[in-house]
Amino acid sequence: MNRRSVKVFAPATVANLGSGFDVLGIALETPGDYVLAHRQPQPGLSFSVRSNNSDLPSNVNENVAAHVAQLMLNEFKPSFGIRMTLQKKMPIGSGLGSSAASSVASVVAVNALLVRPLKKKELLRFAVEGERKASGSPHADNVAPSLLGGACLVRSYEPLDVISIPVKNTLVWVVVHPHVVVRTEEARDLLPKAVSLQTAIRQWGNISGLTVGLASGNIELIGKCLEDAIAEPVRGNLIPGFRDVKQAALDAGAFGCSISGSGPSMFAVTSSSTTAKRIGAAMVKTFLRVANVKCDVFVSRTNMEGARIVRMQRG
Ligand code: HSE
């Protein structure tokens, strides 16, 4: 029997993980976005958004969730149409992979309604188009972990090749979202167009170490390898109080701390929930003291499953 309606959750993500610009990311348990999709008799897409944020595009031609859904409908041409609602729970311009979570929830929802659904990994190529629409760049380091869960390595973009790193679920991530907005497109424009061989050597040493650390659960190694010689030095300036907040996280017991995605959120990694709460409190206090900025804190283990169907009706 076909599926009549689905509700899908897609999680927030920490992209880059410091040194892995555009190639590494992990999925969080919370926050995340929801998409509800219902089959309707007439082909086509109708779309609406439920959100407290009036800046969010609700137009079918502008919102990333609608965009990727439309791409799938154009390609698979099902005999039915879809009525879709995005329940936008995540802040935009936060560095938590907000556009990625919306795109991923959308493609998983459309897929679930198809007569012959694709494998999860085959949905990646649609989800990255949401990122292209949101920021002009089809980076996959948010959409891949949001879709597949765990830690993901984007080994190649042409062709797109994503590898799931068999991460140990012992890590606790602290993500602090200061209430300022950084647009990914602008944060990307700041990046150097070329790096020296010396910088590249430092960076690929750290990325390789990070991959080994994630796969073996070596948190000291992970912490050390978050060091980013390319994006953090320029993007840190977009985050008020960045250097003090990072130091506060390390002083409170974090193994490492860096920018989440393109910022302004910052993340730290540790191995216990108690230490994670202490780190989060220290980061929030420092943001307020140094920059007078309020924050939200998310403490989460790695989400090993990624996007999931939370409700489904057949018929
Ligand atoms: N890798 C992307 C960037 C992630 O840093 O621009 C954006 O969330």
The verdict on whether omega for the bond into residue 31 sits within 30 degrees of 0, i.e. cis, is yes
> Residues 69-88: what's their mean pLDDT?
97
Q: What is the pTM of this model?
A: 0.96
Domain with CATH 3.30.70.890 in the chain: 172-301
Instruction: Say if residue 57's pLDDT is above 90.
Output: no
> Which whole number is the average pLDDT over 142-168?
97
CA-nearest residue, atom 4 of ligand 1: 261
Structure confidence at residue 52 (pLDDT): 82
What topology is assigned to 172-301 in CATH? Alpha-Beta Plaits (3.30.70)
DSSP string of the chain, one letter each residue: --EEEEEEEEEEEEESTTT-TTTEEEEEEEEEEEEEEEEESSSEEEEEEE-S-TTS--STTT-HHHHHHHHHHHHH--SSEEEEEEE--SPTTSSS-HHHHHHHHHHHHHHHHSSSPPPGGGGHHHHHHHHHHHHS----TTHHHHHH-SEEEEEEETTEEEEEE---TT-EEEEEEES----HHHHHHTS-S---HHHHHHHHHHHHHHHHHHHHT-HHHHHHHT--SSSHHHHGGGSTTHHHHHHHHHHTT-SEEEE-TTSS-EEEEES-HHHHHHHHHHHHHHHHHHH---EEEEEEEB-SS-SEEEEEEE-
Query: What mean pLDDT do residues 213-225 have?
Result: 97
Question: Given a cut of 70, is residue 64 above it in pLDDT?
Answer: yes
Mean pLDDT of 127-156: 97
- Cite the residue boundaries of each domain of the chain with CATH code 3.30.230.10: 3-166+303-314
- Average the pLDDT over each of 33-47, 52-66, 72-86, 116-130 and give the range with the smallest value: 52-66
**Whether 131 is catalytic:** yes
Catalytic residue among 13, 85, 129, 184: 184
How far apart are the C-alpha atoms of 214 and 209, rounded to whole Å?
9
Q: Per-residue confidence at 1, pLDDT binned at 50, 70, 90?
A: low
Considering the candidates 13, 85, 129, 131, report the single residue annotated as catalytic: 131
Mean pLDDT of all residues belonging to the chain: 96
Ligand 1: nearest atom to the Cα of 141: 1
Ligand 1 geometric centre to CA of 24 (Å): 10
pLDDT at 209: 98
pLDDT exceeds 80 at position 60: no
CA atoms within 13 A on the CB side of 305: 9
Ligand 1 center from residue 22 Cα (angstroms): 6
CATH architecture of 3-166+303-314: 2-Layer Sandwich (3.30)
Residue of minimum CA distance from atom 3 in ligand 1 = 262
Q: What is the per-residue pLDDT for 62?
A: 87
User: In this predicted model, which residue has the larger pLDDT, 142 or 56?
Assistant: 142
Cβ–Cβ < 8 Å for 241, 293: yes
pLDDT attached to residue 308: 98
Residues making up the chain, counted from first to last: 315
**Bond before 78 cis per omega within 30 degrees:** no
Share of residues in the chain with pLDDT > 70 (%): 100
Q: Is the pLDDT of residue 89 over 80?
A: yes
Nearest CA owner, ligand 1 atom 8? 261
For ligand 1, residues with CB inside 6 Å are 15-16, 21-22, 95, 97, 139, 141-142, 184, 187-188, 261-262
